[in-house]
Amino acid sequence: MIIDIHGHYTTAPAELQAYRGRQIAQMNAPTKGTLNISDAQIRESIEQGQLKQQRERGTDLTIFSPQAAGMGHHFGNERISLYWSQTCNEVIYRVCQLFPRNFVGVCQLPQSPGVSPANCVGELERCVREFGFVGCNLNPDPSGGYWSDPPLTDPWWYPLYEKMVELDVPAMIHVSASCNPNFHGTGAHYINGDTTAFMQLLSADLFKEFPTLRFIIPHGGGAVPYHWGRYRGLAQDMGVPPLSEHLLKNVFFDTCVYHQAGINLLVQVIGAYNVLFASEMIGAVRGVDPETGRNYDDTRPMVEAVPGLSATDKQKIFEDNARRVYPRLATRLHS
């Protein structure tokens, strides 16, 4: 089985954004309201989008979540964020109900700048226990590029981590839209978020406090694999254990890297045990690479072409690591 751990519902019917528009217009008196999207609309959007590409590319299952750029945690207050997150998660649940063999849910959290992450616990528990979701997306910067909240290693985040540990679910560390004009959303803010999160984790002993907590850093870890020597050296200067002991029992990386040399480097530096297959298909980069004739986000052939990668290591990247990092997948895959 080939499990793609990084998929977003970027093809949702236009009515979802219309709902968001009404929410913005009613910002001073927010209500959850209703979303008018039929099962037929969801089915068509998936069959002509993500499911079509699954079949064309030979993948089997996508771990699926709301559109990352659309999370918009910077907008409004915590009540608006809660209603928006609930609505988006309910749509993902419907996708998973309509296509149970192809999609498994991961939830958006109702984060807001300056609001305790404890505010997210209820929605995480609802999505895991009632919807069968297997994880969450955690935004390390709800302000949208201004980093106004404490780092991920601060006790500020502990109520959420405690619930993640209780439920045995990981979080993909994934920023949302950029409000800072200095940072292009997907070209800079995403990569900044990945790299900054890794450095935050390196700088503290979070996993001594939470030894079973698990994070996935997407987009190949941002700048991390390319600068692995820098991070090893910084860890050494800080007097923390080697990264293989300090972080790599709890931190994992996906393969949303859109050229062969980058995939090669990721696997060579990080190692197959900590890399999970992903494509983020129909995501930030949708075009065809003229050098290969394939879509940039068609990452399966790149993983298969990594020099010297054994069949055992390919099995880890394509399936086994996902089952280990997302243990609730076992229930979904056998239901």
Percentage of the residues of the chain whose pLDDT score is greater than 90: 93
Catalytic residue set: 280
Q: What is the Cα–Cα distance from 207 to 200, expressed in whole angstroms?
A: 12
What's the residue count for the chain? 335
Q: Mean pLDDT throughout 226-230?
A: 97
- Per the CB < 8 A criterion, the answer to whether 325 and 253 are in contact is no
Least confident of 1-10, 29-38, 146-155: 29-38
Indicate if the pLDDT at residue 308 is higher than 70: yes
CATH of the domain at 140: 3.20.20.140
pLDDT-based confidence at residue 257 (cuts at 50, 70, 90): very high
Give the tens place of pLDDT for each residue, 196-220.
999 999 999 999 999 999 999 999 9
Residue type at 141 in one-letter notation: D
Which pLDDT belongs to residue 126?
Answer: 98
Q: Mean pLDDT throughout 51-80?
A: 95
The DSSP line for 125-158 is: HHHHHTT----EEE-S-TTSSS--SPPTTSGGGH
Indicate if the pLDDT at residue 31 is higher than 90: no
pLDDT-based confidence at residue 60 (cuts at 50, 70, 90): very high
Give the tens place of pLDDT for each residue, 264-303.
999 999 999 999 999 999 988 889 999 999 999 999 999 9
Q: DSSP 3-state assignment of 106?
A: coil
The strand pair at 136-138 and 107-108 is best described as parallel
Q: Is 31 exposed, middle or buried (0-12, 13-18, 19+ CB in 10 A)?
A: exposed
Q: Mean pLDDT throughout 98-127?
A: 98
Name the pTM for this structure: 0.97
The rounded mean pLDDT for the chain is: 96
Q: DSSP 3-state assignment of 230?
A: helix
Indicate if the pLDDT at residue 333 is higher than 80: no
**DSSP symbol at 176:** -
Q: Mean pLDDT throughout 42-53?
A: 97
Domain that holds residue 277: 3-333
Indicate if the pLDDT at residue 52 is higher than 70: yes
Token match 């994880």: residue?
Answer: 135
The strand pair at 107-108 and 215-217 is best described as unpaired
Number of domains comprising the chain: 1
- Per the CB < 8 A criterion, the answer to whether 83 and 35 are in contact is no
Which pLDDT belongs to residue 283?
Answer: 84
Q: Mean pLDDT throughout 151-157?
A: 98
Percentage of the residues of the chain whose pLDDT score is greater than 70: 99
Indicate if the pLDDT at residue 38 is higher than 80: yes
